Amino acid sequence: MSVITTERRGDILVIISNSPPVNALGADVRIGLKAGIEEAIADETVKAVVIRCEGRTFFAGADITEFGKPPVEPLLPELVDMIEDCPKPVVAAIHGTALGGGLETALACHYRIAVPSAQLGTPEVKLGLLPGAGGTQRLPRVAGIEAAVELCATGNPIGAAKAESLGLIDRLAGETSLVEDAIAFAQEMIAQGRRKSRELPVKGDPAAIEAFAKANARKFRGLDAPAANIACVEAATRLPFAEGMAFERAQFMKLIFGTQSAAMRHIFFAERKASKIDGIADDIALRPIRKVGVIGAGTMGGGISMNFLSAGIPVVIVEQEQAALDRGTGVVRKNYEASAAKGRIKPDQVTQAMDLLTATLSLEELADCDLIIEAIFENMEVKKEVFAKLDTIAKPGAILASNTSYLDINEIASATSRPQDVLGLHFFSPANVMKLLEVVRGAKTADDVLATAMSIAKKIRKVAVVAGVCDGFIGNRMLMPRQVEAMKLLMEGATPEQVDRVHVEFGMPMGPFQMADLAGVDIGWHRDPNRIENVRDALAAIGRWGQKTGKGFYDYDEKRNPSPSAEVQAIIDDFSAKAGVVKHEISDEEIVERTLYPMVNEGALILAEGMAQRASDIDVVWIYGYGWPVYRGGPMFWADLEGADKIVKGLEKHGFAVAPLLKEKAEAKGRFT
Ligand code: 3H9
């Protein structure tokens, strides 16, 4: 059956798209829509048209899988013009999400009606693109300059009520009566006649564009697409429509053939692929998760709990002492209240979330939990004790998880009589904010346990990646060689400022030493001030623990602004001299080769060992767990851009042992992604 069908309702021709999962505007949809409009034009008895979609959503955009392939006519911009030029009024009936090319199609319709739950937006910028079918030119005419620039440059959607207030939709339909309401609306519009978006004057004050660009400059650092989106909206304010369209086209073509968009499209699909587990059927029966237990009310335990509370899932949180329990639940409440104060959640959501939280000192209260997550400090013996106890308390079939960031899940599982129910759920700090969840599959973890973990991750809005059991799993394992090499670079003559600057210029949110100062220089420290074996020990011994003590690798003022520290430099120089290291001029290029190339190398080892299912999973870990710049697509995609042979040469130049898989890629001129 064709993905596009038509149906007559009196004078109205209803064009219906049914192209699961999201009615993307692929070639067959475009061809069908064109035929539908031609049918409406040819049939004199048709007086108006409704375009609507079956399934979960209105058109969610152009079909991203088509980008980079030979174009198939009609192209979306042509189709959109054809809809606008239809001599009979056309009404878009919107439910779900009208996104990107989907919203552009709706903008070309003469009128728009939407259900109250609909979302409208132009998320192209998140794919390193801009709305390339007239969105940047029609939006300022329909919704106004200010809304247009915000929609296009941030990519964030708006709800139907807001869209109505902007004039982006003309009418709200009943939540369950869209089809009938749209037909009635089209009937009404027959007398009114058409209203072409492109013929409307641009609304609003062009000064809003510069103000927006200024206010968001930091957020858009390193990204090409936001500026291109802003430029296109600006062009709409001064150019006639046709010229504005030509400008938009040129900008779109520049972006689509650039590496940033390729990287961001890679991540779009990588993120979705990451949730699929090789060898496990999509329809495997999942274990119901109705109640969650969290052991430990520290920063991690509290953050982890918030994810479930926010998703409406009751949580029992356990601590050993009342004071720690009160402190932990107090922080959770404070975090919610802060979100409410910032307007991110409604005040009654604070109460709703807190009402779902039970705090207790007794592990026995976890007996009816479906999922129990241990989030205590990193000590194997203590963890094994906790799991052995859980084994006697948890109900049969409960999933037992550890939030360890590097310990052996198999050993933890061995403390129970049910290793099939045990796995790792490695949240990243702050756990209520960071999107990444490493789901660590133990040797005996049952398939349905793993699949349930992936599914619950989606429910709590995390991006989950499956990792095997190895030291540091995927993310922290790759971080280690970077940190080790960064320290060596200091000994050989680089400064913390230089190493950090190179990483920030690369697009990371911060460099290795800024990160150490933020996380705490004392993390993992043996706590013996007389045992000084390296620079880090020396800094920890004199209280240079990072931002929390006002000094670490950097000195900090009251506002936490960093400045280079002479004391730190002296310590580095001292170690360097004692070790007989000959200092040399270190270029920025050397820093990249010695800190980022080893990460790729480690990634290749992880892949070869089967610790990650696919190279794109590694990219997802680094984008969502560590702030790797999305426009560089993650370390493995970036490696493909650099070229495996260049990376191998760089690693060999600095004496690293090159991973066999990386060597293979270099020899075969192959790619990881
Ligand atoms: C554009 O429009 C350019 C134009 O301006 C200019 C042209 C000239 N294409 O996310 P989900 C797949 S650019 C192809 O899990 P949800 C997705 O890969 C586009 N495939 O569902 C997944 O496949 P699988 C602008 C797409 O309910 C499946 O659909 N639009 C597309 O959580 C389900 O997706 C966007 O950027 C697509 N456009 O969320 C919107 N979209 O099952 C992108 C999805 O094999 N889409 N798929 O893994 C989204 O934001 C979400 O998918 C949506 C649904 C919110 C719609």
Give the integer Cα–Cα distance in Å for 255 and 126. Answer: 12
Cβ contact 137:250 at 8 Å? no
Q: What angle do CA 607, 610, 612 make, to 5 degrees?
A: 65
Q: State yes or no: pLDDT of 164 exceeds 80.
A: yes
pLDDT tens per residue across span 386-441: 999 999 999 999 999 999 999 999 999 999 999 999 999 999 989 999 999 999 99
For the question of residue 243 being annotated catalytic, the response is no
Q: Residue 530 — very low, low, confident or very high, per pLDDT cuts 50/70/90?
A: very high
Q: How far apart are CA 488 and CA 581, in angstroms?
A: 10
Say if CB 21 and CB 56 are below 8 A apart.
Answer: yes
Q: Cα–Cα distance between 611 and 614 in angstroms, integer?
A: 9
Length of the chain as a residue count: 673
Q: At what angle do helices 644-653 and 635-642 cross, to 10 degrees?
A: 90
**C-alpha span between 495 and 94 (Å, rounded):** 56
**Catalytic pick among 7, 38, 73, 124:** 124
Average pLDDT over residues 68-91: 96
The β-bridge partners of 90 are 49
Residue 524 has pLDDT above 90, yes or no: no
For residue 74, say if its preceding peptide bond is cis, omega within 30 degrees of 0.
yes
Strand, helix or coil at 427? strand
Which value, in Å, is the radius of gyration of the alpha carbons in the chain? 28
Q: How far does the centroid of ligand 1 lie from the alpha carbon of residue 97, in Å? A: 10
Percent of the chain with pLDDT over 70: 100
Strand duo 422-427 + 436-440: pairing = antiparallel
Interval between CA 64 and ligand 1 midpoint (Å): 7
Beta pairing partners, 357: 315
Ligand 1 lined by 127 (C-beta under 6 Å): yes
DSSP summary character for residue 5: E
Percent of the chain clearing pLDDT 90 (strictly above): 98
17 with 53: CB under 8 angstroms? Answer: yes
Nearest to 129, CA basis, from 226, 213, 30, 26: 226
Nearest to 142 by CA among 172, 175, 166, 119: 166
Residue in 19, 22, 23, 271 to alter for ligand 1 test, most ligand atoms within 8 A of Cβ: 22
Q: Which atom of ligand 1 is nearest to the CA of 130?
A: 5
Return the pLDDT at 523: 85
24 CA → ligand 1 middle, Å: 7
* Residue 438 bears catalytic tag: no
Mean pLDDT, to the nearest integer, of 493-513?
A: 97
Given this model, what pLDDT does residue 338 score?
Answer: 96
Q: Is the pLDDT of residue 50 over 90?
A: yes
Q: Strand pairing of 436-440 and 463-467?
A: parallel
Query: Going by CA atoms, what residue is nearest to atom 9 of ligand 1?
Result: 63
Element (H, E) at 97: strand 97-99
Whether residue 1 is predicted with pLDDT greater than 80 in this model: the reply is: no
- Our answer on whether the CB atom of 416 is closer than 6 Å to any ligand 1 atom is no
CA dist 455 and 460 (Å) reads 9
The alpha carbon of 61 and the centre of ligand 1 are apart by a number of angstroms equal to 7
Closest CA to 428 of 623, 631, 219: 623
| DSSP calls for 32-87 | HHHHHHHHHHH-TT--EEEEEE-TT-S--SB-GGGTTSPP-SSPHHHHHHHHHH-S
Contact 460, 469 (CB under 8 A): no
Spatial separation of the C-alpha atoms in residues 13 and 518, rounded to whole Å: 61
Kindly tell me if the per-residue pLDDT of 68 is higher than 90.
no
- Residue position matching structure tokens 């409410």: 340
Residues in CB range of 615: below 8 A, 6 or more apart: 603, 607, 636, 637, 672, 673
Lowest mean pLDDT among 3-7, 14-18, 280-284, 497-501: 280-284
Mean pLDDT within 103-118: 98
Q: Is 93 in the pocket of ligand 1 (CB under 6 A)?
A: no
580: confidence class by pLDDT, cuts 50, 70, 90: very high
CB of 40 within 6 A of ligand 1: the answer is no
Choice among 7, 39, 78, 104 that is catalytic: 104
Cβ of 248 below 6 Å from ligand 1: no
Q: Is the pLDDT score of 99 beyond 90?
A: yes
Q: Using the predicted structure, report yes or no on whether residue 637 has a pLDDT greater than 90.
A: yes
Q: Could you check whether the bond before residue 564 is cis, i.e. omega within 30 degrees of 0?
A: no
Measure the CA–CA gap between 576 and 582, rounded to whole angstroms: 8
Cβ(271) to ligand 1 under 6 A?
Answer: no
Instruction: Report the 10 Å Cβ neighbour count for 387.
Output: 24
Report the atom number in ligand 1 closest to the C-alpha of 269: 18
Backbone φ and ψ for 633, nearest 5 degrees, come out as 70, 10
DSSP per-residue letters across 551-590? BSSEEE-TT--EEE-HHHHHHHHHHHHHTTPPP----HHH
Distance CA 403, CA 409 (A): 10
Encode pLDDT of 219-273 as tens digits: 999 999 999 999 999 999 999 999 999 999 999 999 999 999 999 999 999 999 9
Query: Do 105 and 92 form a contact (C-beta atoms < 8 A)?
Result: yes
Give the list of residues 6+ apart from residue 116 with CB closer than 8 angstroms, or none: 159, 160, 161, 172, 173, 175
Mean pLDDT of 146-162: 98
Average pLDDT across the chain, whole number: 97
What tokens does 82 get?
A: 């054809």
C-alpha of residue 135 to centroid of ligand 1, in Å: 17
Per-residue pLDDT tens over the stretch 261-314: 999 999 999 999 999 999 999 899 999 999 999 999 999 999 999 999 999 999
Q: Is 429 in the pocket of ligand 1 (CB under 6 A)?
A: no
Q: Decide: 76 in ligand 1 pocket, CB within 6 A.
A: yes
The whole-number average pLDDT for the span 631-653 is 98
Alpha-carbon span 229 to 247, nearest angstrom: 11
Asked whether 123 lines ligand 1 (CB < 6 A), one says yes
- What pLDDT sits at residue 274? 97
Distances (CA, A) of 82 to 31, 35, 155, 524: 12, 11, 26, 64
Distance 33 CA to ligand 1 centre (A): 19
Q: pLDDT digits over 446-474, tens only?
A: 999 999 999 999 999 999 999 999 999 99
Alpha-carbon distance of 466 to 657, in angstroms, equals: 27
Q: Which residues contact 145 (CB under 8 A, 6 or more apart)?
A: 202, 203, 204, 205, 206, 208, 209, 233, 236, 237
Which pTM was predicted?
A: 0.94
| C-alpha 254 to ligand 1 mean position (Å) | 22
